[in-house]
Amino acid sequence: MQAELLCILIPLLPLLGFVANGLGFRRVPASLVGPLAVAGPVLSFLAVLSLFSNFRAGGNQPFKALLFDWISVADLHINFSFQIDQLSLIMLLVVTGVGSLIHLYSIGYMKHDEGYGKFMAFLNLFLFFMLLLVMGSNYVIMFIGWEGVGLCSYLLIGFWNTNTSYNNAARKAFVMNRIGDLGFLLGIFLIFTTFGSVEYSDVFASATGMTIGDKTVLAITLLLFVGAMGKSAQIPLYTWLPDAMAGPTPVSALIHAATMVTAGIYMVVRSNVLYTLSPLTLEIMGGIAMATALLAASIGLLQNDIKKVLAYSTVSQLGYMFLGLSVAAYTGGMFHVLTHAFFKALLFLGAGSVIHAMSDEQDIRNMGGLRKYLPITFWTFLIGTIAISGIPPFAGFFSKDEILAHVWEHNKVLWALGVLGSAMTSFYMFRLLFLTFFGEFRGTAEQKHHLHESPLTMTLPLMVLAVLSVVGGLLNVPHALGGHSALAEFMAPLYAGSQQVNPAAFGGHTMGASEELMLMGISAGVALLSAIVAYVMYVRNAAVPAPDSAERSLPAKVVYNKYYIDEFYEVLIVRPVRALGDGLYSVGEFVVDGVVGAVAWLVRTVSGQLRLVQNGSIGSYVFAMVLSLALIIALRFFINWTSVLGYLNI
Amino acid sequence: MLPIILLSVFGIALLFLGFAKSKAILLPATLLFIAIAFGASFVDWGKNYMYFNDMLLSTNLSIAFTAIVLLSAFMVVSLSSSFLEDESAQPAEYYAIMLFSLVGAIMMISFENLIMLFVGVEILSVAMYVLTGSDKRNLRSNEAALKYFLMGSFATGIMLFGLALLYGTSGSFVLSDLRSYVNGGVAYGSPLLLYMGLLLLLVGILFKVSAAPFHFWTPDVYEGAPTLFTAFMSTVVKTAGFAALLRLLSFSFTGIYSFWGVILMAVTVITLVVSNFTAVYQSSFKRMMAYSSISHAGYLLIALTAVGQQSKQALVFYSLAYSVATIAAFGVLLVVSRHQSGEGKPTDESYDAFNGLARQNPLLGFIMTVAMLSLAGIPLTAGFWGKFMVFTTAANRGIFWLLVVAVLMSAVSIYYYFRVIIAMYLRDGQTTAIRVAPFYRYVLIAATILTIVLGILPNLVRSLV
């Protein structure tokens, strides 16, 4: 009973925060907005902690908290219930924990914005939907959360809605996600028709009775993966994420790095039984993930906007997560979600702190030497950079390595490509770090005058996240390094179904400790090497990227312009669709409006006639009544219908 | 059966309270009385009891309908604060009459003997005639009362004739006797008196619930009556009438469904078509609401036409959803029209009265919008589930052509319901901020919340019945 109460409180508290700040926008005093908005996430984080400790104390027993019967139509029964198990608890910890920190940070970051209260309300609403997404015990509740976070993402990307290009970015994110959502929705329909239920427990239980390579499961998993492509920004639906950086930086940290974009990974891990049943889907996923990781990393090499670099880095890291999933390393994928949430949130918040100090300047060509002015930001950003680059013993090293080790067992070429991507990651991150914090200040004198370290509400989250980025990897130290893969052990029960349908995919590590150590050595060495190259280029030689207008060699030009993917989509999809829309519109104008107009005319005419019957005279009313009564009597009693119908030969 | 006794006593007590100098106590006292009766109605929950020498039967279903009627009455009474501002009004009498009329309504809901049905209908009707004409100096109100009375007595005559014929054939007024008589193997069309009696009885009640073609009184009476009593009539009378029809048709006369089913189907279609089409042309909001109430009688009739297991749930839920939304709409109309009329100007109850309302009064605009959405049956409001359940009964019975008509008419209804919303949000008007008394506001907000909550969690009520 107590656990159920906690389950209700966890999403409810942020929702209350949303209601308070949303309804009270411009009425709640500014000093109260922050505490109100932060209280929800923090309290719900405490509730998650308590739930988590109960769960551990209770012997890791998963359970379902049924809130109420929600929809009950014919064969369709959908409960509003929450699933509490290893997976949802990990996600809950990340969402509420990192979420609380980012809420706290937002107080400092957004305080002087005109829409401060509205912003905090949207953040709270986002958290509510995200919690629904991870807690729901069936696909429909997940879908509600899925759509809800999409809505909040839209609202927050276009938060500064007086800027047209920001609005376009928001719309782009929304439309691209809709494409993915359509796939997800079709997947849910197919799940319902196949299994007769959308409840995880029912679906997975009946799925374990199916054979590997089942066609229906293939379709289901592909459709679900289309949904994941949209939400988690994989090729071909990734272009919205870099544009989404138009939103305020805390939004980028919370929604577009730490939580929402990992929903696709969560969904795949949640449906791991289905995916294990369909090796072909996993192969496709692996290809797409690898391509995404490399493409995004290479674009990141030449970007000059501090947030754009981080955005492409996010796309690339999401690719790594899917790469892990594609070789059935579900824990590896989730582990990377976890560590990525720490260091990427840290990096975004650090970038926010820089942007804050630089009076909204985002171009790293105009920065430099900031470490003297923003020491805390610098040190924490450095930690984040080391962590994401995969240099031991920071968090990113362990999680990325776990994925790469599994890939190695599966396919050596993919592994090599993965290491290449990891080299690029290290390079562009250190390039970013060096250009921002080292060398001479390259901005205007006025910007220099304003440089200041951010307030405590902003630096405190940075420090907490920095600590987590350092020690986060210890959660799952592999056996080869003397650990015992604690996270993998913890999450193992989730894959019982998968193990049952395809034991081969879970054969356990076949390679020895020395082989694993060698792999680790290579990837760490490559990352270090890239960092050193970046150091030589941008610190020793003090190179600064050329301005936009400069002449570039052809390959550099292609990469600098993000492979012209956006332009490609514009020509291939947007314009034809728009032309089709224009065409249909003119047809619609003519045909549909004509029909609608005719119906409206008919209704009005009939109505005008009927109205006249109501003439106000009692005599005629009574006459009409009696006439009707007489008619009924005549029709029912004095006409023999069987003989009439027989006479008419009907 | 406690509410019947309580309400009778309370009604008399109210008349005595009317002697007091201060009228301020009347409204809270009436609300308290209704609340007590509401609570008392649940005493018999879960038991099937015959009362008063087998004259009345209390079941969960009858309690549910009683609760809806009392809830509606409570809400209507709480919107009646304008009485107290009017010097010449006699609130004690009106409140007492409302309480007495509730007694009639409860009798109609829980009758076991047809005599009780007749007595209930008459108690309710006579009270309504008086309340319709309560605005004594208003010519329209007087005309409406007279019209209502004349046509009502006509319908009563038909109904009484029907009762007499039923007694003549079966020799009993008791529902269970009638049931065994009907199920005891009567040939189709014979004895003729049984069928004729049922037909006349049905016509009498169909008149009360304003189903076409017996609806002609409704627009004139609803428009002429003071808005408060229009709200009372369109909810309490309708709910009680449908409870009575359900009791008759689903219990006693199921055996001859083939006879009355077709008649009801015809009445349903005529009701839906006539009401929805005519409502389109109205320029007065209040008159539109009259046609709206006729059209909802049509939707409720669908559940009776397809009488079955789910009809009870559907009728209870629909009555509740409809009553709450209707009272909220009339509540907003009351404050708006009073605000617009001002000094010397006649009361403005047209759509134009709502022009630009939402700009200065977002709360009133929202309440009205939710009410209209619910009446139109838009999802996430109680009205949607009401329609859904009603349509489900017909689908289960396989009467699809009726469903097609109903859905089409429902689409037509969006036109006139949304006109208000458009007027409130998109038209320009000079409406200034309207001051709404706190209690009045709370009741309207509660109605809105109830509409939305039932729209999200219909099982809260559905699972009870």
User: Token pair of A532, please?
Assistant: 């050193």
Chain B interface includes A114 (CB < 8 A): no
C-alpha to C-alpha distances, B391 to A27, A578, B238, B307, B384, nearest whole angstrom:
45, 40, 19, 12, 10
Mean pLDDT of A99-111: 88
Helices B382-397 and B285-305: crossing angle in degrees, nearest 10, is 40
Dihedrals φ, ψ of A513, to 5°?
Answer: -65, -35
Contacts of A611 in chain B (CB under 8 A): 278, 281-282
A614 with B277: Cβ contact below 8 A:
no
B219 with A68: Cβ contact below 8 A:
no
Q: What is the mean pLDDT of chain A?
A: 86
C-alpha to C-alpha distances, B327 to A281, B60, B223, nearest whole angstrom:
56, 24, 15
> A215-229, A351-365, A412-426, B374-388: which has the minimum mean pLDDT?
A351-365
Helix (H, G, I), strand (E, B) or coil at A58: coil
Determine the distance from the C-alpha atom of residue B226 to the mean position of all C-alpha atoms in its chain, rounded to a whole number. Answer: 16
Position B165 pLDDT exceeds 90: yes
Helix (H, G, I), strand (E, B) or coil at B344: coil
Per residue in B119-131, pLDDT (tens digit) is 999 999 999 999 9
For residue A175, give every residue at least 6 positions away whose Cβ sits within 8 Å of its Cβ, in sequence order, or none. Answer: none
C-alpha to C-alpha distances, A204 to A65, A197, A591, B143, nearest whole angstrom:
18, 10, 48, 70
How far apart, in whole angstroms, are the C-alpha atoms of residue B63 and residue B61? 5
Chain A interface includes B192 (CB < 8 A): yes
Check if the beta carbon of residue A221 is closer than 8 Å to that of residue A271: yes
Residues 585-624 of chain A whose Cβ lies under 8 A from any Cβ of chain B? 603-604, 606-608, 610-611, 613-614, 616, 618, 621-622, 624
Dihedrals φ, ψ of B225, to 5°?
Answer: -70, 150
Determine the distance from the C-alpha atom of residue B432 to the mean position of all C-alpha atoms in its chain, rounded to a whole number. Answer: 32
Q: In angstroms, what separates the C-alpha of B209 from chain A's closest C-alpha?
A: 14
| A388 or A542, greater pLDDT | A388
Closest CA to A96 of A10, A197, A29, A161: A10
Mean pLDDT of B399-407: 91
Q: Name the most confidently modeled range: A247-261, B175-189, B277-291.
A: B277-291
Contacts of B199 in chain A (CB under 8 A): 629, 632-633, 636
B203 with A637: Cβ contact below 8 A:
no
Q: What is the pLDDT of residue B134?
A: 86
Quote the radius of gyration of chain B (alpha carbons, Å): 21
* Core vs surface per residue B296-310: b (16+ CB within 10 A) or e: bbbbbbbbbbbbeeb
A607 with B195: Cβ contact below 8 A:
no
> A182-191, A303-312, A611-620, B226-235: which has the minimum mean pLDDT?
A611-620
Chain A interface includes B363 (CB < 8 A): no
Q: Which residue of A has its CA nearest to B291?
A: A611
Q: Which of B213, B274, B282 sits opposite A625 (nearest CB)?
A: B213
Position A644 pLDDT exceeds 80: no
Mean pLDDT of A468-495: 82
Helix (H, G, I), strand (E, B) or coil at B465: coil
Q: Please tell me what DSSP assigns to residue B171.
A: S
Mean pLDDT of B157-161: 95
Q: What is the full DSSP assignment across A323-351? A: HHHHTT-HHHHHHHHHHHHHHHHHHHHHH
Chain A interface includes B181 (CB < 8 A): no
Q: Would you call B255 exposed, middle or buried from its count of C-beta atoms within 10 A (0-12, 13-18, 19+)?
A: middle
Chain B interface includes A637 (CB < 8 A): yes
Q: Which of B208, B216, B274 to mutate to test the interface with A (most CBs of A within 10 A)?
A: B216
- Kindly indicate the confidence band of residue B290, based on its pLDDT and cuts at 50, 70 and 90: very high
% pLDDT > 90, chain B: 62
B217 with A621: Cβ contact below 8 A:
yes
Q: What is the pLDDT of residue B329?
A: 95
Position B89 pLDDT exceeds 80: no
Position B87 pLDDT exceeds 80: no
Dihedrals φ, ψ of A350, to 5°?
Answer: -60, -45
Q: Which residue of B has its CA nearest to A634?
A: B196
Q: What is the pLDDT of residue A640?
A: 66
Q: What is the mean pLDDT of chain B?
A: 90
Per residue in B216-268, pLDDT (tens digit) is 999 999 999 989 999 999 999 999 999 999 999 999 998 888 888 888 999 99
Q: Which of A19, A618, A643 to mutate to test the interface with B (most CBs of B within 10 A)?
A: A618
| A609 or B162, greater pLDDT | B162
Position A600 pLDDT exceeds 50: yes
Check if the beta carbon of residue B280 is closer than 8 Å to that of residue A607: yes
Chain B interface includes A632 (CB < 8 A): yes
* Alpha-carbon torsion angle A127, A128, A132, A134, nearest 10: 20
Position A643 pLDDT exceeds 70: no
Q: Would you call B109 exposed, middle or buried from its count of C-beta atoms within 10 A (0-12, 13-18, 19+)?
A: buried
Position A586 pLDDT exceeds 50: yes
User: Token pair of B89, please?
Assistant: 């009004």
User: Token pair of A564, please?
Assistant: 């012209």
- Kindly indicate the confidence band of residue A242, based on its pLDDT and cuts at 50, 70 and 90: confident
Q: What is the pLDDT of residue A510?
A: 64
Mean pLDDT of A258-277: 89
Q: What is the pLDDT of residue A1?
A: 47
AA letter at A1: M
How far apart, in whole angstroms, are the C-alpha atoms of residue A363 and residue A374? 17
- Kindly indicate the confidence band of residue A641, based on its pLDDT and cuts at 50, 70 and 90: low
Q: Which residue of B has its CA nearest to A622?
A: B151
Per residue in A420-451, pLDDT (tens digit) is 999 999 999 999 898 888 888 887 888 888 88
Helix (H, G, I), strand (E, B) or coil at A391: coil
How far apart, in whole angstroms, are the C-alpha atoms of residue B458 and residue B451? 10
Please give the angle made by the CA atoms of B23, B25 and B27, to the nearest 5 degrees: 90
Position B427 pLDDT exceeds 50: yes
Position A88 pLDDT exceeds 70: yes
Q: What is the pLDDT of residue A589?
A: 79
Q: What is the pLDDT of residue B26?
A: 87
Stretch (H or E) spanning A329? none
Give the predicted TM-score (pTM) of the model. Answer: 0.69
Alpha-helix residue ranges (DSSP H) falling in B283-361: 285-305, 309-341, 357-360
- Kindly indicate the confidence band of residue A637, based on its pLDDT and cuts at 50, 70 and 90: confident
Q: What is the pLDDT of residue B146?
A: 93
Per residue in A367-401, pLDDT (tens digit) is 888 888 888 889 999 999 999 988 888 888 888 88
For residue B198, give every residue at least 6 positions away whose Cβ sits within 8 Å of its Cβ, in sequence order, or none. Answer: B162, B166, B253, B256, B259, B260
B220 with A603: Cβ contact below 8 A:
no
**How many CB atoms sit inside 10 A of residue B403's CB?**
19
How far apart, in whole angstroms, are the C-alpha atoms of residue B71 and residue B280? 30
How far apart, in whole angstroms, are the C-alpha atoms of residue A150 and residue A264? 12
Sign, CA dihedral A379-A385-A387-A390, equals negative
A611 with B263: Cβ contact below 8 A:
no
% pLDDT > 70, chain A: 97
Check if the beta carbon of residue A306 is closer than 8 Å to that of residue A364: yes
Contacts of B278 in chain A (CB under 8 A): 607, 610-611, 614
A636 with B263: Cβ contact below 8 A:
yes
Per residue in A496-523, pLDDT (tens digit) is 888 888 777 776 556 777 888 888 888 8
Stretch (H or E) spanning B50? strand B49-51
**How many CB atoms sit inside 10 A of residue B127's CB?**
26
Position A650 pLDDT exceeds 60: no
Query: Checking phi first, is residue A164 left (phi over 0); if not, alpha (psi -120 to 50) or beta?
Result: alpha
Q: What is the full DSSP assignment across A601-617? A: HHHHHHHHHHHHH--S-
Position B294 pLDDT exceeds 90: yes
Chain A interface includes B259 (CB < 8 A): yes
Q: What is the pLDDT of residue A649?
A: 59
